[in-house]
Amino acid sequence: MTDAPAGSLRGRDLLSVADLSAGEVNRIFDRAAELKAEFRAERRHAGPPLVGRTLAMLFQRPSLRTRVTFEAGMNQLGGHAVYLTEDVVMGARESVRDVALNLERFVDAIVARTGPHEVVVELAAQASIPVINGLTLREHPCQALTDLFTLRERFGELPGRVLAFVGDGNNVYHSLALLGAMLGLEVRLAHPADYSPSHRIVDQARAIAQETGARLVFGRDPAEIVRGADVVYTDAWTSMGQEAEMEARRDAFGAYRVDDALLDAAGPTAVAMHCLPAHRGQEITSAVMDGSRSIIWDQSENRLHVQKALLVEILGG
């Protein structure tokens, strides 16, 4: 990566939401709101800010939202995205170091969607261009930024809001806990005993929360955890790479389904979120997904606008 000017995101990597300050997050959110308003009004940007810029997309894991929103986003901003399929990326034909040293000569930034978090860390260490984490087993920073931007749209100010995550203490939860702590939320997690989040991530989030007045809460009972929450959030019980655990996970998470009764337990103004893809009838019901209390499709759309804002902040002048 390159060194950014003081107070700027230009040239910066984004491997974890903890790489950002609260001020930088809010700048991304403000930029996203501007880009969204302009795009919704005109379906284009009058002065595309990334003309001539190229983004490489290294994807070892399949994607709908991450791929389309980064690829379409670069196009809408005047740039171009190059999608590299799994058979040409790291560890098979070439080492991570060699991939990074090649791509820094060809393109302006890299989005990597992979398994081990260490892959994006090594890419960032070896490449002189920005590297953005499009998903690892440890974190999903672009998703968390999108989620809290969506909540800011819905509720206004974020400090003091309560986000209740129901299910696995996974990469999405990790990023939500870190970013929620940074922005002053109360982030709760209801999870089965054997599906706890990373202790290192929780300790990091708690340290941030001590500075911001945020709070982390954990429990086993979903109805208790969601009581009084502004948002009830869930994710797939079985993620990519966990297919061998599918039956065990279905048994463990059977009591953690987000349905109308669980939303009712949260309160009359609570909304439902899901990072998608969803397994309807498992972690969430179709009635919730398609109902009036769902903001899932707003979440999905906002991946486009938040990631465009991130690209402009990192690659813009």
Identify the active-site residue in 161, 257, 275, 305: 275
Identify the active-site residue in 65, 188, 191, 303: 303
Q: Is 142 a catalytic residue?
A: no
Q: Is 303 a catalytic residue?
A: yes
Identify the active-site residue in 113, 152, 174, 257: 113
Identify the active-site residue in 143, 282, 299, 307: 143
Identify the active-site residue in 140, 152, 257, 274: 140
Q: Is 113 a catalytic residue?
A: yes
Nearest partner of 147 among 299, 37, 283, judged by Cα: 299
Dihedral class, residue 168 (left if φ above 0, else alpha if ψ from -120 to 50, else beta): beta
Tokens for 32, please give them.
Answer: 């996203």
58 - beta bridge partners?
A: 84, 112
Identify the active-site residue in 31, 174, 235, 299: 235
How many angstroms separate the CA atoms of 237 and 167, rounded? 7
How many angstroms separate the CA atoms of 37 and 49, rounded? 16
CA dist list (Å): 217 to 128, 158, 309:
39, 17, 31
Beta-sheet pairing, 162-166 with 186-190: parallel
- Tokens 């179709």 appear where? 286
How many angstroms separate the CA atoms of 143 and 148, rounded? 9
Q: Is 143 a catalytic residue?
A: yes
How many angstroms separate the CA atoms of 200 and 139, rounded? 12
DSSP SS3 for 45: coil
Q: Which residues are catalytic?
A: 113, 140, 143, 235, 275, 303
